[in-house]
Structure 1
């Protein structure tokens, strides 16, 4: 999902009147944007704007970069400038709409989406976002109208049915909601959200066993959604499966440690099974989040009394009574605790308060008083069938009830699912990326392997390069300071090359700087010169193959996703298998020169899968794993390749090994290819 908005919007033609150097800077800037180097891309767009402020493209793309950096005001302002220069660009309205949503300007966003739909009336993304804006404004009639149009355009669009089901729930029509969720399941039974959505309806209807079954399927397909575990815990609680409910709260809190409902409800259940000390820990956490939560404080007081901390219990009870002076259960339990610490006078005062209130009630002086009595059944609410309360419920009578989300919170499922922004959805089934030589690497909490090659290590120890060269497939985007550093290094290396034009390493060093600032053409030129100067220098072949591959990736996205516009068809450049063969040829040279360089086999296998030569790809993945038995990404990609060939069992074995070695997305894919009934 991370490149979805760029796929949809990035590939617009540059004005024909642009000068060559401006075109080149725009190309580099769009490369940087596509490869998520947002700070760098903004600097390039600034250069184009300074040179030709009448062009709309640099404003539009700079606005898109700012969106990714959460600069919503800046994104809106840039899209406004783009629209002033060209009012017919659908993407500018879409991005401005997203920026306005992030600033809670839903009316402005609706205006943008309606305008964009005038130019592109069958754009699913626009209808999706327009619908969500109407849901945010509680305009369900307009939302239903949008969804009906959307589902006419795209009758297999699962999200549309889920949203329409949510609207039906808001209108208290569970039958219509259930029908839409059933349709969504028929369309895509491997989407965890469809099962989780139907489970919510079944929970509302009291069909707890059926709800748990649906939530089992949702958990099976996605283990990273705390809300699914919270809901399954509720279904289990209603079936008196307290241990199962607590396990689900444990899982939810592993995913989302600060989840209020998880801690509060787990605390209640721990108290019910006698795990008092750990229940106190849960309520301590709740009170850290919400210090004025009187129900959590009162429950903690009860638990302190259970564990013999009567002074602590009295302190908690007193705080609650000060806030709710008519809450008689508080007086009852405080009297008990005061007796334990020898405060008979205080205990008698509490008991007198209870007696007086009971007498007053009998005399009808407080006929409308809703406070609890000291009677145990009244104070716990056991006479009520409902065992849950909304989070916003402040009635102290309900302090022992399980908490559920308020309607306003529960209905936020799709409200943040605006198309065009990065989303944490189901893992998409795609290969692990190519390996590269670079100075910068993203840190991973899971994968901590240090990638090593003897020659690269010797090159680092020679201190010829300005920094240590890393072998990684997790590149890190540059900060503004790093961007400036590499521009300065390009100038320095240019001077060095002028004084020593036959030095391949100096060409290679400058090529790396050009690559890091996304100037692929100059990087390839320097690498080619380095190879001509020293045809045994395999890192130059390796990096040239990688950069050529990245150019093809960008061009392929342009060819595929901008093909619907007339201008893109006019500028279309077809990508053929021969283009990938050129990349493969460079990797062939690397393997010939350095047969132990495992990353060349891995990258070549990735290229072979793009050429649909899956069996040859498996041979290369086999070789990579032979050279490095812990090569997680090779197991992952080989597993996918086996699945493409229909060898699911082999594929799942490889994916399992990849997950064991740290590629956590492998588990999600294993579940997709494992039948739900197993």
Structure 2
């Protein structure tokens, strides 16, 4: 973030501004918001600047920075592109876009940006380092190695060059060269934590356990909050029969990173060895909650359940393991023992017979096994159930990427659900950042008459109505009822009556009044809109309707899905009729899209969200919902782009969703 600070100028946050204020002032305030890590707010200011002066490169660049911090890498790339279209000579933009390409695994494009920077004579060590790392991701190890030779000629005292070159040597199985290169890095910088950790890992792989432990001691001294260092040092200690020291390291690692799979699994094995069986069960319970299909962890828990006398639980776990590994003899042997313990001789004899036959096959078949001391996390050979787990073989170079754009992302607990429909409210409700008016012609026509006490607004959020408001609504409605007694065929009066009844939550009478309004005027857009929203509310209220049973207990009754769908489809019909009257209102399409999504007709829902966006290209709710449906249908790329747009228009939870779904993608790809 150090370099980012140079982009930011501090000014008073109380600077007044309006739509007529100069764009520089708005950009400056946005940059202040960036500095204080209020990324969503800064985006809104940069939006204003872009709208006022779309030919400036700066607001696009700053908005790209904000999106990067929100982990909206695709949106950040798009803004970098827009910024470069306006000024292709800003090196900061290329740097940011390259980092975004790296985060989205577009390494070839990142290399192009770094080469462009070098051609612009914007040379620094980080640019070269990142370009080397991208080449390694593209499996161009020879190219990367030659680049490092060039780097060493330019910056011979830069330890990272030697560390990266050592990592490439390790990938090429040249451990002797790697060791020499790491020693050179430490000669230049004796406190280089990456060099110590790489050397420690190399020594561990070569079975120099005491030396590896000493190297991890040095790394931990420099970086005491790195859980991986403790987990690896625990393995080095374990190999030296220092079980208590290994246990201490696992405890520290899990204090730092309570969700660490390796820490819990390996600590569970060690606790098992030293007889801390109940504590070991707790560790394996955690592992199985995180990885429900980990059969090795399940087998170890079964063994512990057997040791602690919980034979039924042990049998259940052994059986699950044997369903996946039907030739696992130790599983049958252990389960037979449990069956004996509960006096189930029949099943015990069946398992013992399988064990006997298998042992004969082993003797006469000369079965051989490869005995490794540890296993990788991705390796799931059931015979390795006693082995400590190490990290999967992955490219360890990824952690070396350098970026000026590093900062705290404000994580949020999120719920993955569609944005709600728009409905009538008497109060202008903020969307979470700025109060804005959702214009619809049919609403404007209602408000122009000023025949309702309060003007109507469209909102997906409902404002709290206080008791004074209800008193006023009740009095105003009484006036409408009096007029209706003399003018029963006036559609508009029935509509006004329904609006007040709906505000009082009297939905049944409101529907009756709307039926009358529509009977006298079948094209009454407001009445059709309001009736559709009330029908949806009725359907959703009935979906989880509390009732009192014959025994006096409160219960939840569920409306049948068919009945729910009937009510939703009736609401869709109302909106369709309204659209036939006015096909230029985006909120009608949006609401209908929401209803199609409720009955799982995603194809029609997407069409309606498309129409809503065509009519109003700043309707954040439509982008949000379309994004979720695209992701659900497997079109993640388009989904991320839509969520990025939703975030731009004030729906900040969209950024948390992007992060959430990207994390899911990364988990599945492992």
The answer to whether TM tops 0.5 is yes
Paired residues of 2:69 and 2:407 also in contact (CA < 8 A): no
TM-score, normalising length: structure 2: 0.57
- Is the aligned partner of 1:183 residue 2:184? yes
Question: Is 275-284 or 177-186 further displaced after alignment?
Answer: 177-186
* Distance in 1 of aligned mates of 2:347 and 2:243: 37
Q: Which runs of 5+ in 1 are unaligned?
A: 12-18, 371-377, 425-441, 444-478, 486-678
Paired residues of 2:117 and 2:123 also in contact (CA < 8 A): no
* Distance in 1 of aligned mates of 2:22 and 2:86: 21
1:48: Cα distance to partner? 2.2
Distance 1:186 1:198, change over 3 A: same
Paired residues of 2:91 and 2:122 also in contact (CA < 8 A): no
- Is the aligned partner of 1:212 residue 2:198? no
RMSD over aligned CA atoms reads 2.7
Aligned with 2:396: secondary structure?
A: coil
Trace 1:418-497 onto structure 2 (pairs within 5 A). 418-422=402-406, 481=432
1:166: Cα distance to partner? 1.5
Paired residues of 1:199 and 1:211 also in contact (CA < 8 A): yes
Paired residues of 1:9 and 1:91 also in contact (CA < 8 A): no
* Distance in 2 of aligned mates of 1:130 and 1:9: 24
Aligned with 2:258: secondary structure?
A: coil
Distance 1:309 1:293, change over 3 A: same
- Which residue is 2:228 aligned to? 227
Aligned with 1:414: secondary structure?
A: helix
Paired residues of 1:219 and 1:228 also in contact (CA < 8 A): yes
- Is the aligned partner of 1:151 residue 2:152? yes
Trace 1:27-426 onto structure 2 (pairs within 5 A). 27-361=28-362, 364=365, 384=371, 386-408=372-394, 411-412=395-396, 414-415=398-399, 417-422=401-406
Q: Which runs of 5+ in 2 are unaligned?
A: 10-19, 412-429, 437-670
* Distance in 1 of aligned mates of 2:6 and 2:197: 29
* Distance in 1 of aligned mates of 2:297 and 2:78: 46
1:68: Cα distance to partner? 1.2
TM-score, normalising length: structure 1: 0.57
Distance 1:281 1:480, change over 3 A: same
Paired residues of 1:265 and 1:402 also in contact (CA < 8 A): yes
Aligned length: 407
Distance 1:7 1:179, change over 3 A: farther
Aligned with 1:389: secondary structure?
A: strand
Paired residues of 2:315 and 2:338 also in contact (CA < 8 A): yes
- Which residue is 1:469 aligned to? none
* Distance in 2 of aligned mates of 1:240 and 1:130: 43
Distance 1:306 1:263, change over 3 A: same
* Distance in 2 of aligned mates of 1:136 and 1:251: 32
Larger Rg: 2
* Distance in 2 of aligned mates of 1:34 and 1:154: 32
1:283: Cα distance to partner? 0.7
Distance 1:416 1:182, change over 3 A: closer
Aligned with 2:313: secondary structure?
A: helix
1:131: Cα distance to partner? 1.7
1:259: Cα distance to partner? 0.6
1:122: Cα distance to partner? 1.9
Paired residues of 2:41 and 2:433 also in contact (CA < 8 A): no
1:290: Cα distance to partner? 0.8
- Which residue is 2:537 aligned to? none
- Which residue is 1:24 aligned to? 25
1:8: Cα distance to partner? 6.6
- Which residue is 2:2 aligned to? 4
